[in-house]
Amino acid sequence: MEDRSQQVLAIGTTFFILAWIVVLLRVYVRAYMIKSWGIDDWIMMLALACFTIYLVAQLGGVYYGTGRRDKDLEPPDIERALRFWYICELFYVIASSTLKVAIGLFLLRIAVNRTHILIIYFINGASIIFGTAYLCVVIFQCSPIHTFWTIRPNNEHCLPRDTVASLTYAASALAAVADWTFGILPGFIVWDLHMNNKTKMVVVVILGFAAIGSTATLVRIPYIKSLKTLEDFLYETTDVAIWSTIEPGVGMTAACVATLRPLLQKVFHKTGLTSNSRSHPSRFTPNWGSSANQLGSKKQGYIRSPSYSHGMDTLRADGSGARTTTTVVGGDGSSEEHIFPPAGRNGAMNISKSVEVTHVTETAPPRQHHERRSDDSLV
């Protein structure tokens, strides 16, 4: 008996666990550590909810027959499996489109160049419009809808499978373009920022994680042709089912990892893996992204991170009595609170440093000198 259902089950379970872990870590960082919860985080939560429904439906499909041939299944089980397959289609489209929008909104928090902002708006708008249109096609591909699972997806009451496959190709192509755009764009966003090349590369790599999902999208494209199959639909479309899980799962994981830098810095600091102040005396602190203290507001704020203060022992030979605390100037509306420090109007990073110096007074030894007495005699 040919059975690939366990492959579908393993992939689904893996990304169910992984997606929930990274999204919950994102919630912890954005809502509690840096207190900078935004609309992109809400949209990511919506994407997680849709992805979870998709995975639950996929597990139901696996239970009844996804990944197995028709000859090994009872007709009622085939019908139930196809019903779950139909639900998976719907929530795959919703989860993928929502994820693209969340990534775009995330990039809008750091984009300042008008061209970059327009590109992000265009990609997000295209994702919403085409995603909605494609969702309508998926919902109403059969009329009545239930004939998708009561008869078969390729029955006379449904759209030709070639049409469905062609639209799926188009949706996958748009998803790949969106992913690669969102992966390349951060390089242009940070290009003109006043930071060293090493920091720029770190920022680009972190933000470019969003493009990783496009790899799964491209791998999925060759398997779309299996949607045209007339026999053993549940078995022949196994690869589509697998890569339809990997694509949003990887994209969601990568997009959330890009927000976890403050948490990683905190962990590295507590475990002693970060460099000390002798090698990096001016490293900025990660706690500068409070939503109440971001750029773009008339009222500027200062955020102090005492737990990340760095010592500065160059003022005294014995290395004591001096320390420095780095603070970052910010105002409302900042967008890059978890990646790099905010920039001022001229593009320079608004980092201020206060230095506390302990002044030590030593008693000087008495020195001999002449005193004039009242009788003008010298002693």
pLDDT: which is higher, 333 or 236: 236
The DSSP secondary structure of 30-91, one letter per residue, reads: IIIIS----HHHHHHHHHHHHHHHHHHHHHHHHHHTTTB-GGGS-HHHHHHHHHHHHHHHHH
- Is the predicted pLDDT of residue 259 greater than 80, yes or no? yes
- Domains of the chain with CATH codes: 5-259 (1.20.1070), 276-357 (no CATH)
Range ranked top by mean pLDDT from 152-156, 233-237, 308-312, 347-351: 233-237
Whether the per-residue pLDDT at 322 is higher than 60: the answer is: no
Q: How confident is the model at residue 342 (pLDDT cuts 50, 70, 90)?
A: very low
Q: Please check the confidence at residue 137 and state whether its pLDDT lies above 60.
A: yes
Q: Which of 78-87, 157-166, 219-228, 321-330 has the lowest mean pLDDT?
A: 321-330
Q: Which of 14-18, 93-97, 343-347, 365-369 has the lowest mean pLDDT?
A: 343-347
pLDDT for position 373: 42
**pTM greater than the 0.85 cutoff:** no
The per-residue pLDDT of the chain, averaged, comes to 76
Whether the per-residue pLDDT at 348 is higher than 70: the answer is no
Q: What is the pLDDT of residues 191-218, one digit of tens each?
A: 767 777 777 787 777 767 666 767 788 8
Q: Specify whether the CB–CB gap between 96 and 247 falls below 8 A.
A: yes
Give the C-alpha separation, 101 to 99, whole Å.
5
Burial class (CB in 10 A: 0-12, 13-18, 19+), 376: exposed
Predicted confidence at residue 16, as pLDDT, reads: 96
Share of the chain above pLDDT 90, in %: 44
Per-residue pLDDT at 233: 92
Closest listed residue to residue 321, CA positions, set 359, 273, 292:
359
Residue 247 confidence (pLDDT) above 70: yes
Percent of the chain with pLDDT over 70: 70
> Highest-confidence range of 21-25, 338-342, 369-373, by mean pLDDT?
21-25
CA angle 49–52–55, rounded 5-degree value: 155
- Which residue matches tokens 């439906």? 57
3-state secondary structure of 317: coil
By mean pLDDT, which of 55-64, 90-99, 265-274 is the weakest? Answer: 265-274
Q: Which of 104, 97, 95 is nearest to 47 (CA)?
A: 95
Q: Given this model, what pLDDT does residue 364 score?
A: 55
Is pLDDT at 282 greater than 70 in this prediction? no
Mean pLDDT of the 76-80 span:
94
pLDDT tier at 265 (50, 70, 90 boundaries)? confident
Q: Assess contact for 324 and 354: CB atoms under 8 A.
A: yes
Task: Give residue 156's pLDDT band: very low, low, confident or very high (50, 70, 90).
Answer: confident
- What pLDDT shows up at residue 90? 96
CB atoms within 10 A of CB 162: 11
